[in-house]
């Protein structure tokens, strides 16, 4: 069985889209199912929305020991990097669009704290912009929708950046994870799987909003993925039916 038939895919639920009145119930169930949690940090300036914060990360820590990945949508990235280092967020991912002149210092600060550094590319931003520091990143997140709000239109053209990043990683012998974020659901599972990202950020349309019960929603998500891609889910590993 080759690697295309036996691939480990990391799943990272977006906690912005969960039912906050079922916070403990949902995270307790997912703790044994997923690899990490995705936490959106928005300042109301980079995008017209304000959402989760470093304080929220501390609350998740009370009910989960899984890695937490912060996706910053902020204009003052160095300020928020310091806040996220203070709460020891496992992955700290800054927007590439505001990183010019501070990218290396932010990555160095994150690594010096023993944490992992990531960058996020919005739909209009090309991979070339991060090539100067791509070799020292731990993760690259490709936005497949416009940032700021859940439920926006899926932009299929962004998947080519995932393919490009895989090619660069193979050619240069790098080890960063490639993550995709946005409208990860039944309608798009097949094309996402074909692009082969390492990490799927799953939100309301792909998980939390499927049913009123997290266990049923999880079962439906797995079933939809298997039916649409031809892969089967087996303890965190997607296996080809071939």
Residue 40 known to be catalytic: yes
- Asked if 181 is an active-site residue, the reply is yes
Query: What are the phi and psi torsion angles at 11 (to 5°)?
Result: -110, 130
Pick the closest to residue 129 from 119, 144, 138, 118 (CA basis). Answer: 119
Q: Which residue among 40, 43, 138, 198 is the active-site one?
A: 40
What would the two tokens of residue 1 be?
A: 């069985």
Q: Which of 21, 109, 170, 181 is catalytic?
A: 181
71 within 8 A of 98, measured Cβ to Cβ = no
Cβ–Cβ under 8 Å, residues 15 and 60: yes
Element (H, E) at 180: strand 177-181
224 in Cβ contact with 189 (< 8 Å): yes
> Which residues carry out catalysis?
40, 181
């Amino acid at each position: 069985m080759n690697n295309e038939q036996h691939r480990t895919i990391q799943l990272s639920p977006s906690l912005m889209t969960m039912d906050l009145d079922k916070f403990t119930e949902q995270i307790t169930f997912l703790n044994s199912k997923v690899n990490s949690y995705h936490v959106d940090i928005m300042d109301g300036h980079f995008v017209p929305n304000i959402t989760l914060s470093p304080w929220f990360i501390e609350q998740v820590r009370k009910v989960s020991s899984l890695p937490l990945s912060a996706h910053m949508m902020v204009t003052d990235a160095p300020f928020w990097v310091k806040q996220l280092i203070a709460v020891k967020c496992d992955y700290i991912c800054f927007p590439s669009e505001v990183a010019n002149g501070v990218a290396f210092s932010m990555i160095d600060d994150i690594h010096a704290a023993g944490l992992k550094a990531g960058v996020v590319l919005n739909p209009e931003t090309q991979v070339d912009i991060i090539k100067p520091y791509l070799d020292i990143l731990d993760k690259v997140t490709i936005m497949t929708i416009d940032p700021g709000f859940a439920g926006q239109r899926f932009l299929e053209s962004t998947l080519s950046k995932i393919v490009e990043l895989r090619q660069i990683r193979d050619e240069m012998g790098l080890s960063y994870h490639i993550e995709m974020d946005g409208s990860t659901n039944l309608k798009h599972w097949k094309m996402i799987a074909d692009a082969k990202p390492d990490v799927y950020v799953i939100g309301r349309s792909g998980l939390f909003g499927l049913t009123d019960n997290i266990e049923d929603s999880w079962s439906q998500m797995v079933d939809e993925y298997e039916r649409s891609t031809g892969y089967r889910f087996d303890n965190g590993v997607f296996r080809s039916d071939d």
